[in-house]
Amino acid sequence: MKSNKFIIAFMFILNACSAPTESVTPSTDNQELKSYVWTHAQLQRSGITTAYPQKRSIHKTLEVFGKIEVPPQNRITVAVPLGGFLQHSTILPGQKVNKGQVLATLQDAAYVDLQRAYLDATTQLNMLELEFKRQLDLVQQNATSQKQFEQTKAAYDSERILVKALAERLQLIGINPSSLSAERISSKITLRSPVNGFVTAVFGNNGKYFNATEILFEIVDPSDIHLTLQVNEKDRNAIEINQDVVAFSNTQPDIKYKGKIVLINNHISNENTIEAHCHFEKYINALLPGLTLNAQILSKPIDALTINQEAIFNERGLNWVFIQTQDTLFTPKSVHVGQSQNGFVELKNINPQDKIVITGLNEIRMKANTK
- How confident is the prediction for the chain on average, in pLDDT? 86
pTM to 2 decimals? Answer: 0.60
Query: What is the pLDDT at residue 67?
Result: 96
Query: What is the pLDDT at residue 33?
Result: 66
**H/E stretch holding 121:** helix 109-140
Decide if pLDDT at 28 tops 80.
no
Query: What is the pLDDT at residue 196?
Result: 94
Decide if pLDDT at 90 tops 60.
yes
Decide if pLDDT at 4 tops 70.
no
Query: What is the pLDDT at residue 58?
Result: 82
Query: What is the pLDDT at residue 32?
Result: 57
Residue type, 288: L
CA distances from 368 to 30, 42, 43, 47, 339 (A): 12, 14, 14, 16, 29
Closest CA to 190 of 102, 120, 129: 102
Average of per-residue pLDDT across 61-74: 92
Cβ within 8 Å of residue 23, ≥6 positions away:
none
How far is CA 342 from its chain centroid? 21
Decide if pLDDT at 16 tops 50.
no
Query: What is the pLDDT at residue 263?
Result: 94
Burial class, 214, CB count within 10 angstroms (exposed 0-12 / middle 13-18 / buried 19+): middle
Decide if pLDDT at 2 tops 60.
no
